[in-house]
Structure 1
């Protein structure tokens, strides 16, 4: 850990306006001068979390020093805590400890904290979980068992060429900056089976085995958005930028079908790889993004479904609430439809 203060840093801090931030930096430097390195790191960490908006560039050496002290301390703290918890981890070797492990990563600043940020509707007191327990969705067994047939039907659709797909992002007028590159582009192309709550009969007829497998799907009926089922094709060397969904009452299912190397997916602080035929469920109201760094397209079947934590009465009320918003405006506003 970096030691001491040569007086130069104290001089820079002394030039700040009096206040809490200056007081924290002065206290941290005092701890360093007194050889109290852990206390210095803890105080620097508090200061770094309270940086005022406007700071003189001359303070950069102080901030760099503070970050270095905190990072060195984090490494020491991680080693200390790992040793401290080793016996307990051995004793509870068969228990699920992933929440504790994530908590420690957050404590050590190795993991960011993300929270649901839906663009339309937030239902309080639902579990704020990026990826949901696969066991809560036993009906996915049927989809996974049919994944080879579903993939074959998709390949036949794709044999018609790019015009078989439509752009997933097709904003009217000037799109949000994050979508400017993909707007009206088939680099992120889709083939809808269900769209905005309605079946696409012609497309379902082209994929009869997929349609049969979807009979087990517990549909999330929300005016203007669901149910939705779509083949999502992400072209080679293409990224879907970070974004959030519209409503945490629904969750999103991915059934990977074609996954070349170099593809990835992040939801909140968790990054996963797609594995063909292995479905997962996530809350898209957490910031999420996807990428295909390969030279081939990536294909996933995407569905929406109810959050299992909602009761049947709650689902009916949320459906009615969503419908009410749509009726009030004449149609569901764009911010309530979103890009999932």
Structure 2
């Protein structure tokens, strides 16, 4: 009587030579003799599918997946087999599972690479079909594209066209705050007065720029921390800053040269936390520069941009799933604890007055204790 290794070699040889019946007999014998590995069950599934035994092939690949749920060949086999059996919707979950497993791998064998391409193509077709189906049903019920912006975003997420975008601050998270990328400037009573001062603020900026000595890289390495930031802007003047307030401390030399700017900010609810916030600065993005996607430190504040110099075609600010262009004199207010990025594809500098304000949803008591807690964190002794 042939031992297990002999049966396996005979079965695999028969499978390669197209003798599915002999392969099925040898591999089936191995599985009935004892604990067969996932690879044997998968080979048996291939033999059975070549014999037209659809249900038997499905039973064999299920045994392989029970032993190795992340086996890429088994996942792809089951997806392909279900697709051939007319169960396209169920097949998608196994195609998607294979793609998720493969996303964590640096290299895959060529046969698996072909299967993953097939999986991606199938998922793309199914996603387009699903989106068309949903839109047809919704439009039949009276829905019109472009209406109800939040619902439209939810539909894009449901169809896999956008990701779920949530606050992910790198330092401190305050629960229960709305997940809003941009805030309407009309919601803030102080905005119109600030915007009215755009021209005089710009003049003070231009005077500073004539000196040519006040800007520095926005991102700088800290010798007391590991340099894990891989941004191309680290230490670069492509993204540069001139500070009026820095980490909660007034930069008196610059503030003295910008009296109109300082006066315009007096009615703004700046996020005041001694030694930490606000940051108030002229932020310059050079031609061709890009700010990579990143998250801000805390979600208890909002970031404001008052655009001062905006050349044509200077790109957009993306926050979460939403993008807005800068318009000179029109404030942008956004939550930087959501993923955001910006670029300046134009041929000139883009410069904004950047500052942070308290989230309007926080009451005075919450603001007080957030400030106290963040100060205590910073004062925590080394030993």
TM over 0.5, yes or no?
A: yes
Aligned with residue 20 of structure 1, among 54, 62, 69: 69
- Distance, in Å, in 1 between the alignment partners of 2:379 and 2:124 is 53
- TM-score (norm. length: structure 1): 0.83
Say which SS state the counterpart of residue 242 (structure 1) adopts: strand
- State the distance in 1 between where 2:306 and 2:267 align: 14
> SS where residue 347 of structure 2 aligns?
coil
Distance 1:85 1:69 in 2: 24
Contact 1:197 1:227 in 2 (8 A): yes
Q: Secondary structure at the match of 1:290?
A: strand
Give 1:187's aligned residue. Answer: 238
Residue 255 in structure 1 maps to residue 306 in structure 2: yes
Q: Does 1:197 align with 2:248?
A: yes
Q: Distance in 2 between matches of 1:113 and 1:50?
A: 20
Which residue does 1:45 correspond to in 2? 96
In the alignment, is the contact (CA less than 8 A) between 1:223 and 1:322 conserved in 2? no
Supply the distance in 2 between the matched residues of 1:93 and 1:68 (Cα, whole angstroms). Answer: 26
Selected match of 2:370 from 294, 318, 335: 318
| Counterpart selection for 1:228 from 274, 279, 288 | 279
CA displacement, residues 132-151 of structure 1 (integer Å, 9 cap, x when unaligned)? 34343232222222222222
- For structure 1, list consecutive stretches of 5 or more residues without a partner in the other structure: 1-6, 331-340
For residues 153 and 292 of structure 1, the distance between their equivalents in structure 2, rounded to whole angstroms, comes to 23
The aligned runs of 1:1-340 (5 Å cut-off) are 18-22=67-71, 24-51=75-102, 53-54=104-105, 56-57=108-109, 58-90=111-143, 97-161=148-212, 163-173=213-223, 175-179=227-231, 181-260=232-311, 261-329=313-381
**Residues 192 and 229 in structure 1, CA contact (< 8 A), matched pair in contact too:** yes
**Displacement of 1:294 after TM fit?**
1.8
Alpha carbons of structure 1 residues 199 and 177: separation in structure 2 relative to 1, 3 Å: closer
Could you tell me which runs of 5 or more consecutive residues in structure 2 were left unpaired when the two chains were aligned: 1-19, 21-44, 47-59
Cα distance in 1 for residues equivalent to 2:282 and 2:230: 22
2:112 alignment partner, SS class = helix
What is the CA RMSD across the aligned residues, in angstroms?
3.0
| 1:177 CA displacement | 3.9
Judged with a 3 Å threshold, the aligned counterparts in structure 2 of structure 1 residues 252 and 146 are, in CA distance, closer, same or farther, namely same
Cα 1:130/1:30, change in 2 over 3 Å: same
1:175–1:183 CA contact under 8 A, matched in 2: no
For 2:153, what is the secondary structure of its paired residue?
Answer: helix
Cα distance, 1:231 vs. partner? Answer: 0.5
Larger Rg: 2
Give me the whole-angstrom Cα distance separating, in 1, the residues matched to 2:234 and 2:79: 49
**TM superposition shift of 1:273:** 1.9
Any conservation in 2 of the 1:231–1:300 contact (CA below 8 Å)? Answer: yes
